[in-house]
Amino acid sequence: MLKKSTIPLLAMVALLGTTPVANSAGELPSKEEMWKMLKQQQEEINALKQILSIQKNEPVAPAEPQNGEKKKDGLHWSDRITLSGVVDVRANAKKDYAKTRTSDIVIDTVKVNVDSKVTDLVSAHVTLLHEEAANGAGPEFVDVDEATITLGDPDKFPAYLTAGRMTVPFGKFTTNLINDPLTLQLAETKESVLQVGFNSEGFYGSGYAFNGNSQKAGHSDTIDQFGANLGFSGKLRNATLDIGASYINSIEDSEVLSSSIPTLNAMSRHIGGAGVHAVLGFQGFTLIGEYITATDRFDNAEVAWNGRGAKPKVSNLELDYEFEIMGKTSIASLAWQSSDEALALGFPANRIMTGLSMLIFDQTTVAVEWMHDKDYGTGSTATLPGTNTTANTGTVKLAVGF
């Protein structure tokens, strides 16, 4: 076997022995012969470089990717993108306040999340969402539910900036039940916003501004809606805790209120909203508490209540316990929810919910739930009386995450 030190010498000899020279008569080569000589010499130089790399145990540099697939920072574009999502199919049976029975099977949610870490300081997020209305009511479509760009590196600096369409951080809405809590139904707000926030050692907070759907009568269409939140999430000895508060100056821009107020484009004024929440976890138990309220009254023409306008408020108290059934992670849940001055929004006065979910396979969950609603009393409001009756809904869900 040849020694490594002899490889370069043999390579030089090979080059000298194969490089063409002028013919024996001493004539200069023609132009075609010259190009051929140069091309052959370049190929031999490349071969020599490869031999020298092998002799030094150095890796040979790979060829650059073609067709626009050039790598950046050593990563292919597909290495910087994460896909996730969920498919949620539900069957439900309901007996409403009028004792009318209905039932249906719906693809309740199809959600696809696309997250990209473009650089250490730039990331992007997109959520595509499809929600099928119960009993075929309403159109079916795929919506761009969220689309944001975030500037910042939380590993190096706590502050960040996010711009785009998102669910604004007003309310927490934590639950382990199938159906959304009344807090989410009242307060969930999706807008295109500019947000500045921070997250450091468990403490988090942000401030944001947007131009919402609501508009004050006689005012220009400008960015005059805003909000802020502040909280702490972390461990306290053997427990976990998430506690916080949030404020928005236009609770009427929430999904349910903006679709319920007939004079949304001519509001007498913006109506503020405030919320507080606490989520405590300890030894398999999770206790959830949340309260959200408008900070002022709507006009009666906007949200009715006893002729003077409503000041809607909702609360959610939920207790969850995680355990195993035949080796499968399961969660049992019990919740009590209530609303006040929210009859015009179709909310119950009181709601009791109980449910059980089980992770039957990897990323695959089966859940059952029973929901009991109590309507407002017949004397709750002269202009919009309640029925003082009850309604019951049973739901079964099969969900797969990916």
Residue appearing with tokens 């910087």? 80
Tell me the pLDDT band of 185, cut-offs 50, 70 and 90. Answer: very high
In angstroms, rounded to a whole number, what is the distance separating the alpha carbons of residues 304 and 293?
16
In angstroms, rounded to a whole number, what is the distance separating the alpha carbons of residues 346 and 178?
19
In angstroms, rounded to a whole number, what is the distance separating the alpha carbons of residues 215 and 381?
27
8 A C-beta contact, residue 128 and residue 86: no
Tell me the pLDDT band of 14, cut-offs 50, 70 and 90. Answer: very low
8 A C-beta contact, residue 89 and residue 104: no
> What was the pLDDT predicted at 378?
80
> What was the pLDDT predicted at 321?
98
Q: Which residues contact 29 (CB under 8 A, 6 or more apart)?
A: 20, 22, 23, 37
User: Residue 222: helix, strand or coil by DSSP?
Assistant: coil
Pairwise pLDDT comparison (30 vs 18), residue with the higher score? 30
pLDDT one-digit tens code per residue, 320-363: 999 999 999 999 999 999 999 999 999 999 999 999 999 999 99
pLDDT one-digit tens code per residue, 214-261: 999 888 889 999 999 999 999 988 999 999 999 999 999 999 999 999
Q: Which residues contact 92 (CB under 8 A, 6 or more apart)?
A: 103, 104, 106, 134, 393, 394, 395, 396
DSSP conformational letter for 77? G
DSSP conformational letter for 11? H
User: Residue 53: helix, strand or coil by DSSP?
Assistant: helix
**CA dihedral for 11, 12, 16, 17, sign (positive or negative):** negative
**Is-above-0.85 flag for pTM?**
no
DSSP conformational letter for 2? -
> What was the pLDDT predicted at 36?
74
DSSP conformational letter for 74? T
Nearest to 373 by CA among 337, 400, 397, 399: 337
pLDDT (mean) for 87-114? 96
8 A C-beta contact, residue 270 and residue 298: no
Worst-scoring range by mean pLDDT, 26-30, 94-98, 392-396? 26-30
